[in-house]
Structure 1
Amino acid sequence: MPALPLVHRPLPYETALQARVHEAIDLVVIHCTELPDLATAREYGERVLYPDSGTGNSGHFYIDRDGRIEQWVPLARTAHHTRGYNPRSVGIELVNTGRYPDWLAAGHQAMDEPYTDAQLERLDALLGHLCGVLPALRLIAGHEDLDTTEVEASDDPTRRVRRKRDPGPLFPWDAVLAKTSLRRWQGD
């Protein structure tokens, strides 16, 4: 397999993230950034949200619309991308507007930006790479599969919306699963 073109852009707090061994990783979680571009995602990723550890929310890999892959957190560190699943998983973020900027508004739950062919081709390559370097990797899930929490809508307190909907209805699960040995999360 040819080398996967990765741009390494470690987050400022990467060494403060919990260390882990590759054998502990059995799950990939697919996300969309729900932000307008990679630069905005980087701004969010660099924010320190957990003062005790000096870390914030982030994925391991970010795939821009043109297929460029950036690695912000090494696999040997636990990124904060999915509550309850971080120590065992790799977070992959696809740049996509999702519900931006009104994530929790009941009147704005459509996720209508399609993923680009370049993103999906690089995602396939990245999944193949990860399967080759992570001996226990067997599962893949969407963030929406793992975080099913509902919260009060920001525009209507009488309605509830899903806290997380990514990667969303336009993510081509069948096509992605056809090209990987990973199996879709079923609550394992």
Structure 2
Amino acid sequence: MQVRNHILEDVPFDASPHIGAAITPRFLVMHYTAGGSALNSVRAIRDRGLSAHFFVDRDGAIIQTVPCNRLAYHAGPSHWRGHDGLNSCAIGIEIANLGWLDRKEAGGWTRGGLTRVLPEAEVVVAAHKNGGRSMGWEAYPEAQLKAVAALTEAIRKAYPSIQEVVGHDDISPGRKQDPGPAFPLARFQHLGGAAGSGTLAENDFGTFEVSAREELNLRGGPGTGFAVLRKLSPGSRLRVLREEGDWRLVDLQGDAVPDGFVHGAFLRRLGA
């Protein structure tokens, strides 16, 4: 699976009329469609004046509707790591899935307006991480998850600017609950995004300390035009995850989750 000229090879491209300006993708945002097949969701979202870059069906089939370097209308009001309105810096993946099921019936789960009952074997019962009562959520089939994983790796290989994989419920908490507790987000957060995508050798990435005499800005992207997320004191320790020009994507907690970018001139490798 490979992205060339912003299009995923060997999958249908069903061009959406709802696209915006060119973007530099910084995030991958996972969604569920809250509906039936991927193709039906392509049509339903288009009719609402919305769009996403990719749709992944339950059997793993993928449809692309927006080039990866163009804005799609999938995130809405959102905020993450110093970025507001993630449509302007994120690739959206819509995963065919019914989402929440708040009514338990004999033999399974359903919700108002849904014409069928999902068997209990196809449902995960859990409370959402952002709050609320425990209820049913459609499980994601393994074939679908494998396709999302392959897609994630292909996108991150093509766009090393991508910092992180997040859920719609992360960037719009309280407003959105997709992809929900049935989606194993942690499985995708580090795919294709580890060290080695820059020019440093893979085994060169490791623990550094801030060598600046004054506080060092941690920014939301690789440049001074990005928002300052916080200031790091001289001597602060961190791990470098990726090189992007003069900038370094770093992890402050040691959990391999990217926290932001710092300028590489103000870092010193421990023991050097």
If the TM-score is normalised by the length of the shorter chain, which range does it land in? Answer: 0.7 to 0.9
Q: TM-score, normalised by structure 1?
A: 0.73
Equivalent residue in structure 1 for 2:75, among 70, 77, 82: 82
| Distance of aligned partners of 1:179 and 1:111 in 2 relative to their CA distance in 1, 3 Å threshold | farther
Aligned positions of 1:1-188 closer than 5 A = 5-11=10-16, 13-14=17-18, 17-21=19-23, 24-47=24-47, 49=48, 56-83=49-76, 84-99=85-100, 102=112, 110-149=135-174, 163-177=175-189, 179-181=191-193
Letter in 1 for 2:144: Q
Contact 1:144 1:166 in 2 (8 A): yes
| Distance of aligned partners of 1:29 and 1:102 in 2 relative to their CA distance in 1, 3 Å threshold | farther
Q: After TM superposition, give the deviation of residue 37 of structure 1 in Å.
A: 2.2
Secondary structure at 2:73 match in 1:
coil
Give the structure with the larger helix fraction.
Answer: 1
Contact 1:102 1:108 in 2 (8 A): no
Contact 2:29 2:90 in 1 (8 A): yes
Contact 2:56 2:63 in 1 (8 A): yes
Secondary structure at 2:21 match in 1:
coil
What is the CA–CA distance in structure 2 between the aligned matches of 1:73 and 1:144, rounded to whole Å?
22
Gaps of 5+ in 2: 4-8, 77-84, 102-110, 114-131, 195-255, 262-272
What is the CA–CA distance in structure 1 between the aligned matches of 2:169 and 2:260, rounded to whole Å?
12
What is the CA–CA distance in structure 2 between the aligned matches of 1:180 and 1:58, rounded to whole Å?
25
Gaps of 5+ in 1: 50-55, 150-162
Counterpart residue number, 1:53: none
Percent of matched pairs sharing the same residue: 30
What is the CA–CA distance in structure 2 between the aligned matches of 1:117 and 1:133, rounded to whole Å?
24
Contact 2:26 2:162 in 1 (8 A): yes
More RCO (CA 8 Å, sep 6+): 1
What is the CA–CA distance in structure 2 between the aligned matches of 1:59 and 1:110, rounded to whole Å?
27
Q: TM-score, normalised by structure 2?
A: 0.52
Max Rg structure = 2
Work out the number of aligned pairs and report it. 160
Q: After TM superposition, give the deviation of residue 186 of structure 1 in Å.
A: 6.8
What is the CA–CA distance in structure 2 between the aligned matches of 1:131 and 1:121, rounded to whole Å?
15
Give the structure with the larger strand fraction.
Answer: 2
